Structure 1
Amino acid sequence: MVLEEAISSIEASGTIDELRLSLHRVVQNYGFSGFAFIDAGRPELDLPYHTGTYPPAWERAYIQNDFVHCDPALTRVRRTNTPFHWGELKLPERQGRKRPPELKMMEAARDHGFRQGFVVPFHYRDRLGAVHSSSTVFFWEDEPHDFDKLFVCHRHELHLLMIYWVQRAMDIVNRDQRNAPTILKPADAAETIKLTGREKEVIAWAARGKTVADTAQILGISPETVEGFIKQALRKLEASNKTHGVAKSIALGIIDL
């Protein structure tokens, strides 16, 4: 299937189910076994919106082991617009017998037959200006060498296809909003989060690993004032703690690292 035919099949899809099957056929023509699309903009959720053509056993393992909270690909997706593959992920080193959760997740993926994954981040604004983030991974089960050649030759095509796919999904959802997945719905104006300049600054410095004392010294204000700005930001973000607030700010495009 040439690129023009793939785009035409995506644009001809009339429902989300048709769109999902259309993308499945397209990625299979590239050699992938299937795909997974997931809402990457809600890190606080235990079960964000997801769809795809992955095996049910992988879905069960992913959910039961809470991999959504340690998936290293999702962490990278929230910080980049550029497609990448699993081999580019920086994983923590194993310390003794204890395996970091990121390693457990990647080992589980290999146990389910996935030898590589091509990941496409996507960040977009709806008509009211709210930012949404998603991650799409195409699963590869064949020889890694063949994947390497495909990545070099076709990564731009696959990125372009996902731009068309997400846009078509949004078009379908805008037409049938009652049954729309939350990630693709236009947000209400009340859901748009607005932080002040100082609130953005303290969250941005926290994202860079700075303590309250560090941030106070950098900004030339008292630690108590920094704490106040952090509390205000977390309240607006509806975040349970500073880590949650940082992740949500990055995912929503409020701060840029």
Structure 2
Amino acid sequence: MGLVDAISTIEASDTIDELSSSLHRVVQNYGFSGFAFVDAGRPDLDLPYHIGTFPDAWKRAYVQNEFVHADPALARSRRTNTPFSWSSLKLPERSGRKRPPEVKTMDAAREFGFKDGFVVPFHYRDRLGAVHSSSTVFFWEDEPRDFDKLFVCHRHELHLLMIYWVQRAMDIVNRDQRNAPTILKPADAAETIKLTGREKEVIAWAARGKTVADTAQILGISPETVEGFIKQALRKLEASNKTHGVAKSIALGIIDL
């Protein structure tokens, strides 16, 4: 199936289910085993809107382990418009025997046979002007060297396909507005979450990868004070951990990188 035929297949889809099946056939033609489309604009949700053609066991593991709040690919999707691969992600270093949650997420993906993933972030406005963010990953189960070749040769094609795919999804949802999935409905505003200037600062520095000690030195305050501001911010954000708090702050526009 060539690029023109793939786009035609996507544009001919009349329902979300048909659209999902069409994308599955298209990405299989490139060598991927399936895909997952996730609402990346609601980091506060434990189970955001999603569709895809991935194993049920992977979904159960992803949900039960709360990987949605630790997935480094999902976090990066909120900060970029450029497609990337799982293998390009910079994961935090292990500290002794304890694995960071980001590392646990990617280790689990490999245990399920996913040797790499091609990720396409997308940020767009609906017909009402509301901003949405999504992340689509295409799962790769074959040899990594074959994935590297595909990434170099076809990443622009896959990016273009997803532009057409998301637009077709929006067209279908706008037509069937009463049954619109969350990803394409206007998101709730963040007016009710009010962080102080210091709380925003410590979360913003955390988003840039700074430790508590780093942030304390930058702001000229004690590490204990930084920890206090972080805890206050997470409580207001109703975030389960710092990673969750950072992601939610970025998605809601509370901080900007």
Normalising TM by the smaller chain, what interval?
A: 0.7 to 0.9
Shift of 1:192: 4.2
Shift of 1:126: 1.6
Q: Is the 8 A contact 1:200 1:255 kept in 2?
A: no
Which of 180, 203, 207 is 1:206 aligned to?
Answer: 203
Deviation string, structure 1 residues 11-39 (Cα, Å, up to 9, x no partner): 11000000000000000000000000111
Match of 1:239 in 2: 237
Match of 1:140 in 2: 140
Match of 1:50 in 2: 50
Shift of 1:129: 2.2
Match of 1:172 in 2: 172
Shift in CA distance, 36/115, structure 1 to aligned 2, threshold 3 Å: same
Q: Does 1:128 align with 2:125?
A: no
Which amino acid letter does the alignment assign opposite residue 27 of structure 1? V
Shift of 1:193: 4.6
Alpha-carbon distance between aligned partners in 1 of 2:167 and 2:196, rounded to the nearest angstrom: 32
Q: Is the 8 A contact 2:203 2:245 kept in 1?
A: no
Match of 1:220 in 2: none
Deviation string, structure 1 residues 115-143 (Cα, Å, up to 9, x no partner): 01000111111222221111100000111
Q: Does 1:67 align with 2:64?
A: no
Which amino acid letter does the alignment assign opposite residue 208 of structure 1? W
Shift in CA distance, 124/205, structure 1 to aligned 2, threshold 3 Å: farther
RMSD across aligned C-alpha pairs, in angstroms? 3.0
Deviation string, structure 1 residues 154-198 (Cα, Å, up to 9, x no partner): 1011011111111111110111122221111245xxx44569xx9
TM-score with structure 1 length normalisation?
A: 0.82
* Counterparts of residues 94-105 of structure 1 (less than 5 Å): 94-105=94-105
Q: Which moved more, 1:178-187 or 1:4-13?
A: 178-187
Shift in CA distance, 194/60, structure 1 to aligned 2, threshold 3 Å: closer
How many residue pairs were aligned? 240
Alpha-carbon distance between aligned partners in 1 of 2:80 and 2:252, rounded to the nearest angstrom: 12
Q: Is the 8 A contact 2:200 2:254 kept in 1?
A: no
Shift of 1:254: 5.9
SS at match of 1:208: helix
Structure 1: 4+ residue segments shifted above 6 A: 198-202, 210-217
Deviation string, structure 1 residues 42-92 (Cα, Å, up to 9, x no partner): 111111111100011111111111111111111111111111001111111
SS at match of 1:10: helix
5+ residue gaps in structure 2? none
Deviation string, structure 1 residues 199-256 (Cα, Å, up to 9, x no partner): 7997367312488988988xxxxx9xxx8xxx9x999xx7326956642342245643
Which amino acid letter does the alignment assign opposite residue 203 of structure 1? K
Which amino acid letter does the alignment assign opposite residue 47 of structure 1? L
Q: Is the 8 A contact 2:204 2:256 kept in 1?
A: no
Which amino acid letter does the alignment assign opposite residue 206 of structure 1? I
SS at match of 1:95: coil
Q: Does 1:161 align with 2:158?
A: no
Q: Is the 8 A contact 2:131 2:186 kept in 1?
A: no
SS at match of 1:19: helix
SS at match of 1:173: helix
Shift in CA distance, 10/204, structure 1 to aligned 2, threshold 3 Å: farther
Shift in CA distance, 166/252, structure 1 to aligned 2, threshold 3 Å: farther
Identical aligned pairs, as a percentage?
74
Which amino acid letter does the alignment assign opposite residue 110 of structure 1? R
Match of 1:183 in 2: 183
Match of 1:85 in 2: 85
TM-score with structure 2 length normalisation?
A: 0.82
Which amino acid letter does the alignment assign opposite residue 72 of structure 1? P
Shift in CA distance, 9/123, structure 1 to aligned 2, threshold 3 Å: same
* Counterparts of residues 13-32 of structure 1 (less than 5 Å): 13-32=13-32
Alpha-carbon distance between aligned partners in 1 of 2:21 and 2:139, rounded to the nearest angstrom: 15
Match of 2:7 in 1: 7
Q: Is the 8 A contact 1:203 1:246 kept in 2?
A: no
Q: Which moved more, 1:19-28 or 1:60-69?
A: 60-69
Q: Which moved more, 1:86-95 or 1:31-40?
A: 86-95
Which amino acid letter does the alignment assign opposite residue 53 of structure 1? T
Q: Which moved more, 1:173-182 or 1:31-40?
A: 173-182
